[in-house]
Amino acid sequence: MKNLLSRSRGPGLDERLDALRIAVEIGRDRLQPEAIEPVSAVLDRASERMGLGAELTVVALAGATGSGKSSLFNALTGSDLSPVGVRRPTTGVAHAAAWGETTSEALLDWLNVPRRHGASDPDLDGLVLLDLPDHDSTESGHRLEVDRLAQLVDVFVWVLDPQKYADAALHEGYLRPLASHAAVTTVVLNQTDRLTESERRRCIADVARLVEADGLRGVKVLSTSARTGEGVGELRTLIAARVREERAATERLSADLDAVSAALARYCNGAPGDISKTERDLLVEALANAAGVQVVSTAVAKAHRRDAALATGWPLTRWLRRLRPDPLARLHLRRDSGGGRTSLPAATPLQRAQVETATRRVGLQAAGRLPQPWPEVLRRRASGASEPLLDDLDRAVGQTDLGEERRPAWWSLVGALQGILLTAAAVGFLWLTVLFALEWFQIPRPPTPQIEGIPWPSFLLLGGLLAGFLLAALSGLLARAGAAARMRRAEKRLKGAVEEVADELVISPLDQELRAYATFCDAVRRMSRR
Amino acid sequence: MQTQTVHDAVVRLRSVLSEVAFPLDLPAAPEATAMKLELEGQIEDYLLPRLLQIDAPLLAVVGGSTGAGKSTLVNSLVGRTVSASGVLRPTTTTPVLVAHPEDMRWFEGDRILPGLARATGAPPKGSTSLHLIADADIPRGIALLDAPDVDSVVQANRRLATQLLAAGDLWLFVTTAARYADAVPWEFLRRARARSTALALVLNRVPPEALDEVPQHLGEMLNREGLEGTRVLTVAEVVLTDGRIPGSVLVDVRRWLDALAADAGARAEVVASTLEGAIASIAPRIDALVSHLEAQISAGGSLAAQARDAYAAALEEVTAGVSGGALLRSEVLARWHEFLGTGDLMRSLQLGIGRFRDRLNQLITGQPPVENEVRTEVERGIETIGLAACDKAVERTQAAWRSSQPGRSLIEDAGAPRSSSARLPAAIESEVRAWQGYVLDLVRAQGAGKRAAGRAVSFGVNAVGAALMIAVFAQTGGLTGGEVAIAGGTAALSQRLLEALFGDEAVRNLTNDARTDLLTRLSHLLESEAARFEDLASRATPDRARIAELRSAVTAVEAAR
């Protein structure tokens, strides 16, 4: 089978079936069921048929009631297996004749043809010939049987007759929809014994014209008469050639694949959009807003100032700070408060709306000018992300290192300095107290050392207090600058975390979907022989 | 039967019928449209002419499958080639009417088949005008019309054949031994039965071996279909001489035709029975059309309802959004909280330096006064929530419409909106502005009643208005976590402030009024958004008035017969 296939142009059938499999997999959840089901039916049928002997050839004689299918069937089998009559419709169920040992019972079971006959002829070894019921009589059950078997057979032999060859039921119901199956189609104008030679020739030409107009290119039109046997030999030779080639089953599938590819091409005629930097930034902005990045980074700044004040503030008033709540702890964002979850406010309807709008926009952007159902699929993907987004954003914020633990070195330096200054002030205060006590008890004081005319104890007390206060004020200014820097840093980190979440939950699913589109359309292209 | 009254009633029915359409893409719509066109055609081509001139010759339309030998039959009856026949299918594309020269005047004018042009002489190929051929071999009182086939690939033929058959007083339906069980012709036979059109079948091309079995089987089939008693004229298959069937084989048909021609009473009976049948078939056909109309109306209604539901959900979202108390960013809330908490407001109200303080604050910090910020924030918040809800509603409607064929067609062909209208953001903004104006008016009006409150309000209407807005948004709780601390506290503070100014009862009324006003405004906006879909659906939905009109027109026809 392999080397037979390699004879045909283009990619091999296996590759094309692979492409079909991919297209079905991608299309299953995305296309409308009525669009994807026939496609997946082709896939199922292909693997079933290939497993039943690709070298066997199933030929169906199909046609209108009274066209003489059964007579031809009998002429080809050299028997009167299929009843022939003047009452219409004659054949109610399909008849099958199988040639040779190789034709498996399994294939006939798969075709589900109730009437089976064995035949033997070395020329036709490997042939299963079906006599189908009519497709145009008042018995609608016949039509259903024809429709079912038309999906399964390898070669169509349409039996036409001079009266009915232009019927809409045939051309609109079967030949046009099967236009892609020209390679496995033969048209026979039967009952030519009713026509004169010149009429026959004109009729054949007219049939050929109609068949061509149906879109079936290069189809052979034979003329036969089951009654006189004219042309039956030619038809038999043609069928025998098909059987010998052992290629009809794969050609049928190949035609199916062409048809499927053509049908699916309409889902591929568009240009996907591109998620631009601006759109992405807008999304991140909205998500950051919803995640409370602003709130958290402000809290980081406030916490920094609080921590700085606790470390470097004026020792006399520093304790007051402790009475104010820690803004970060209130949001449960302190490392030591444990757990990843924050108690940031739950997303408000406003934030939710912002997130939804932003994701929707990105989805629309990604859809570009794709044909349905892709815009719908992308939209669903994008808006489906909204709910988990809010949770994940919360988690991301909770796990971001805000840098609130790091204590700058100068804090301890200033802290120590504040200690020294306080000690100096205390020493000055004690000294003065002692001096005051001596004075009070009228005990003569030792001379107090002076610095630039100011007594040391006073200098120590006042200088210590003043310097401490000034140092605290200076530290406050420094802490303010530090807080601003830290806020920026935290904001940057939080935005980074938000960006990751946006990429993971919005951008990459959309990218994935766009890739699915590309893979699908690539598969659709590869499926076709052309 | 008063033909004139019936005529008038049918004319009225025709004018009502011309207004009927089935624009929604339901699976049955093409069938319904075809049914309506057919009825219109029959009224135009058959009923009205026949009602006007009950004495006109009987028009026998020769119809049937392609290749059944209609033209051959007509040629053989006339005795010369008047209609092209041959082996190539379909042969006849041009309708040919053959009548006695003295009957010709009935057919030359626009009395019947007014839509078809008339031509004389040899019919050119492909012409669809009605060819009139006078032939003295045709008995007086009967005209034969050779119609194109009903079942070939040429669609124009099928349409024309249907029109011509509808115009006939009598169908001479031609089938063959190979064709008599085909599905398509039987659909026509059933139609003839449904309208009690006079019917005779010609079973042509019966091979000798089938002469017993096939006519008998056809008879059984006719019985099964409720067409028992239909005349079946069998014509054996013979070699044509000169493209015509020899008279000896055609003797049955000839005899039947001559008998009909000879008996004016029988002819009148055929005409009357077909006419009555056609009139009687109007009511059930109109019933069928009415049920198609009803299906359309209900499908259109459910499309409109889907849009309405989607926007009702949007209104709920908006309502929840503006009631959550979290419409304002926490920074702004915090500022407002500070402003209230520090007593700034009360002091500025009491001291009457509100405006001065604002200016100063603005000058120093570069920040707008907090109450202005609250108002901007409210505007932005409502706009965001409203837009998101509307966009979602568009999506929901689109998804709902896409799930049915008529909806899909509306989206793809009628261009249903794919997004919210472009003017929506501006519309929301102006509505919110108007609402804020209303809130301030409320505050002023409330203030005018009480002296103390009046003084306070005159100093800081904006601030009091902002407090009222916040109280509106916080009306339903549902807050969790840290937000309660801010929003809840703020709302409580705002509430306390308002109560201090106006009293509990008044505050409750104020918040209710303000809230109702906001939601009314927003729901009007949403309605106008929904209307874009609903209008589309209702434009594509037939008017219910058509049903009543049809019913009354049909009652008039029924009463007249």
Nearest residue of B to residue A87, measured between CA atoms: B214
Nearest to B209 among A86, A331, A349 (CB): A86
Interface test with A, best of B70, B72, B89, B333 (most A CBs within 10 A): B89
Question: A332 falls in which pLDDT band (50, 70, 90)?
Answer: low
Is the Cβ pair A88, B180 closer than 8 Å? yes
Mean pLDDT of chain A: 83
Nearest residue of B to residue A199, measured between CA atoms: B87
* Residues from chain A contacting residue B330 (CB–CB below 8 Å): 292, 295, 345
Percent of chain A surpassing pLDDT 70: 94
CB atoms near residue B87 (< 10 Å)? 18
Is the Cβ pair B391, A356 closer than 8 Å? yes
- pLDDT computed for residue B531 by the predictor: 92
Question: A341 falls in which pLDDT band (50, 70, 90)?
Answer: very low
Nearest to B153 among A139, A168, A352 (CB): A168
The owner of tokens 């020209």 is A182
The residues pairing with A57 across neighbouring beta strands, listed in sequence order, are A127
Distance CA A98, CA A114 (A): 13
Interface confidence (ipTM) of the complex: 0.73
Is the Cβ pair B87, A202 closer than 8 Å? yes
Low-confidence spans in chain B with pLDDT less than 50:
476-487
- Token pair for B318: 């908006």
pLDDT for A391 beyond 80: no
Judged by average pLDDT, the poorest of A169-178, A316-325, A469-478, B311-320 is A316-325
Question: A345 falls in which pLDDT band (50, 70, 90)?
Answer: low
Is the Cβ pair A138, B181 closer than 8 Å? yes
Is the Cβ pair B483, A360 closer than 8 Å? no
- CA B506, B507, B509, B514 dihedral sign is positive
Is the Cβ pair A163, B176 closer than 8 Å? yes
Distance CA A352, CA B317 (A): 11
Helix (H, G, I), strand (E, B) or coil at A222: strand
Angle (nearest 5°) at CA A20 between A15 and A22: 95
What value does the mean pLDDT take over residues A387-411? 78
Is the Cβ pair A171, B153 closer than 8 Å? yes
Environment class of residue B360 by beta-carbon count within 10 Å: exposed (0-12), middle (13-18) or buried (19+)?
exposed
Q: How many Å lie between the alpha carbon of A20 and the closest alpha carbon of chain B?
A: 26
pLDDT for A4 beyond 60: no
Residue B92's Cβ-side half-sphere holds a number of Cα atoms within 13 Å equal to: 36
Tell me which long-range contacts B442-449 makes (C-beta under 8 A, separation of at least 24): B442/B468, B442/B510, B442/B513, B442/B514, B443/B468, B443/B510, B446/B502, B446/B506, B446/B510, B447/B501
Q: How many Å lie between the alpha carbon of B482 and the closest alpha carbon of chain A?
A: 5
- Put simply, the chain B residues between 296 and 355 with a CB less than 8 A from any chain A CB are 317, 320-322, 324, 326-327, 329-331
Judged by average pLDDT, the poorest of A359-363, A521-525, B276-280 is A359-363
- Alpha carbon B138 to its chain centroid, in Å, reads 48
Angle (nearest 5°) at CA B403 between A31 and A174: 60
- Put simply, the chain B residues between 444 and 503 with a CB less than 8 A from any chain A CB are 479-483, 486
Is the Cβ pair A166, B392 closer than 8 Å? no
Q: For the segment A237-254, what is each residue's pLDDT rounded down to a tens digit?
A: 888 888 888 888 888 888
Angle (nearest 5°) at CA A23 between A21 and A28: 95
Q: How many Å lie between the alpha carbon of A302 and the closest alpha carbon of chain B?
A: 13
CA of A176: how far to CAs of A210, A242, A260, A492, B376, in Å? 10, 23, 15, 63, 65
Is the Cβ pair A66, B481 closer than 8 Å? no
A58 Rama sector, left if φ>0, alpha if ψ -120 to 50, beta otherwise? beta
The owner of tokens 């589309």 is B536
Nearest to A138 among B67, B178, B183 (CB): B183
Interface residue B151 vs chain A (CB under 8 A)? yes
* Residues from chain A contacting residue B522 (CB–CB below 8 Å): none
- pLDDT computed for residue B483 by the predictor: 41
Is the Cβ pair A357, B158 closer than 8 Å? no
Nearest residue of B to residue A290, measured between CA atoms: B329
Q: For the segment A261-314, what is each residue's pLDDT rounded down to a tens digit?
A: 888 888 888 888 777 888 888 888 888 887 778 778 888 888 888 888 888 888
Q: For the residues of A275-297, what is the DSSP string, one character each?
A: --HHHHHHHHHHHHHHHTHHHHH
B158 closest CA partner among A372, A166, A495, A34: A166
Nearest to A137 among B181, B214, B330 (CB): B181
* Phi, psi for residue A59 in degrees, rounded to 5: -110, 135
The answer to whether residues A219 and A171 touch, using CB atoms and an 8 Å cutoff, is no
B118-120, strands of its sheet edge to edge: B118-120, B130-134, B96-99, B142-146, B58-64, B170-176, B198-206, B231-236
Residue type, A375: P
CB atoms near residue B316 (< 10 Å)? 11
- pLDDT computed for residue A498 by the predictor: 86
Angle (nearest 5°) at CA A49 between A45 and A55: 150
Q: At what angle do helices B330-341 and B344-351 cross, to 10 degrees?
A: 60
* Residues from chain B contacting residue A295 (CB–CB below 8 Å): 330-331
Interface residue B396 vs chain A (CB under 8 A)? no
Tally C-beta pairs within 8 A across A and B: 167
Is the Cβ pair A86, B177 closer than 8 Å? yes
Nearest to A350 among B90, B321, B402 (CB): B321
Distance CA A167, CA B104 (A): 34
- Token pair for B175: 């089938």
Q: At what angle do helices B504-539 and B451-473 cross, to 10 degrees?
A: 50
The answer to whether residues A84 and A71 touch, using CB atoms and an 8 Å cutoff, is yes
Is the Cβ pair A298, B331 closer than 8 Å? yes
The owner of tokens 């929301």 is B428
- Token pair for B274: 């077909």
Distance CA A330, CA A406 (A): 19
- SS3 of B487-546: HHHHHHHHHHHHHHHHCHHHHHHHHHHHHHHHHHHHHHHHHHHHHHHHHHHHHCCCCHHH
Q: For the segment A435-484, what is each residue's pLDDT rounded down to a tens digit?
A: 889 888 988 888 888 888 888 888 888 888 898 888 888 888 888 888 88
Nearest to A350 among B90, B384, B402 (CB): B384
Is the Cβ pair B395, A164 closer than 8 Å? no
* Residues from chain A contacting residue B415 (CB–CB below 8 Å): none
- SS3 of A159-219: EECCCCCCEHHHHHHHHCCCHHHHHHEEEEECCHHHCCHHHHHHHHHHHHHHHHHCCCCCC
Helix (H, G, I), strand (E, B) or coil at A105: helix
- pLDDT computed for residue B309 by the predictor: 94
* Residues from chain B contacting residue A86 (CB–CB below 8 Å): 177, 207, 209-210, 213-214
Is the Cβ pair B330, A199 closer than 8 Å? no
Is the Cβ pair B327, A350 closer than 8 Å? yes
* Residues from chain B contacting residue A171 (CB–CB below 8 Å): 153
Q: How many Å lie between the alpha carbon of B153 and the closest alpha carbon of chain A?
A: 4
What value does the mean pLDDT take over residues A419-429? 89
- Residue with more model confidence, A44 or A84: A44
Nearest residue of B to residue A327, measured between CA atoms: B482
CA of A425: how far to CAs of A107, A415, B532, in Å? 108, 15, 80
Interface residue B404 vs chain A (CB under 8 A)? no
Nearest to B388 among A138, A167, A356 (CB): A356
- CA B397, B398, B404, B406 dihedral sign is positive
Nearest to A166 among B152, B181, B321 (CB): B152
In sequence order, the 6+-apart residues with CB closer than 8 A to the CB of A112 are none
Distance CA A85, CA B210 (A): 9
Q: How many Å lie between the alpha carbon of B381 and the closest alpha carbon of chain A?
A: 6
- Token pair for A211: 């068949």
- Token pair for B325: 């108390």
